């Protein structure tokens, strides 16, 4: 199946989505898709995904974040939250709430855009240690940060956006320690999203073979 997560920020037809799900088993959705057409979420549930990740980058007090998550429990396997909001009164209770409902939690540790300040990483790491989520979001455009987070959190899942349009090369994030690369526009804006997804997966596979091979 490859190590890809589809960031679906625009609607694709159900048939295209269904075809894509044969090659990509995890999907990330967020505000753009939900606000474009809330009823599109029903299409997501018509397909058997390994994981549906809700990327709302939750960053609020505990009660508000839990209210938001409660509306989406029927659709979601996991949620992404910001780590900078801290533990007490925020991520502590969100984390317990999601555990109770058997949902996973990812915390953002380093974003892919230029303006993100990795100088705060030591604070975010402290929060991450306390919250002990299932995984982290670390930008694929930040290979050093992927290596740092992998070194600091050996058993956590790292999901990595920024591949393609934002400039990171396919496969590099995995070679640096990420588990999955998140790809949006390169696939959903392609003329033929399915062919493009297959092409990206092939490149990813080749790159992984190259770098993991050279590790042995």
Among 115, 135, 124, which residue's Cα sits nearest to residue 182?
135
Q: Which stretch binds ligand BMP (CB under 6 A): 66-74, 86-94, 98-106, 179-187?
A: 179-187
Answer yes or no: is 92 a known binding residue: no
- Residue 164 is a binding residue for ligand BMP (CB under 6 A): yes
Give CA–CA dist 163/141, Å, rounded.
7
Q: Angle, to 10 degrees, between the axis of helix 92-100 and the axis of helix 62-70? A: 30
The residue sitting closest to ligand BMP, measured at its beta carbon, is 184
Shortest Å, Cβ 33 to ligand BMP: 9
Strands (E), 8-156: 26-30, 51-58, 78-82, 104-110, 135-138
- Residue 9 is a binding residue for ligand BMP (CB under 6 A): yes
Shortest Å, Cβ 155 to ligand BMP: 22
Structural element, H or E, at residue 4: strand 4-7
**Which residues are documented as binding site?**
9, 28, 55-64, 112, 161-171, 184-185
Rule CB under 6 A: which residues touch ligand BMP? 7, 9, 30, 55, 111-112, 137, 139, 161-162, 164-166, 182-186
């Amino acid at each position: 199946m490859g190590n890809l997560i589809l960031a679906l920020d625009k609607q694709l037809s159900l048939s295209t989505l269904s075809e894509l799900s044969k090659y990509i088993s995890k999907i990330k959705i967020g505000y753009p898709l939900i606000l474009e057409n809330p009823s599109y979420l029903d299409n997501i549930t018509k397909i058997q995904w390994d994981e549906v990740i809700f990327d709302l980058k939750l960053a609020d007090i505990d009660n508000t974040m839990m209210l938001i998550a409660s509306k989406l429990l029927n659709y979601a396997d996991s949620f992404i939250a910001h780590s900078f909001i801290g533990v007490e009164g925020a991520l502590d209770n969100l984390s317990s709430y999601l555990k109770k409902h058997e949902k996973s939690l990812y915390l953002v540790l380093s974003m892919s855009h230029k303006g993100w300040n990795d100088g705060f990483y030591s604070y975010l790491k402290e929060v991450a240690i306390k919250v002990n989520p299932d995984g982290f979001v670390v930008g694929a455009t930040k290979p050093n940060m992927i290596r740092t987070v992998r070194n600091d959190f050996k058993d956590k899942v790292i999901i990595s956006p920024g591949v393609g349009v934002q400039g990171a090369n396919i496969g590099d994030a995995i070679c640096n320690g990420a588990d999955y690369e998140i790809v949006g526009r390169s696939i959903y804006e392609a003329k033929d999203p399915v062919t493009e997804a297959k092409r990206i997966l092939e490149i990813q596979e080749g790159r992984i073979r190259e770098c993991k091979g050279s590790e042995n």
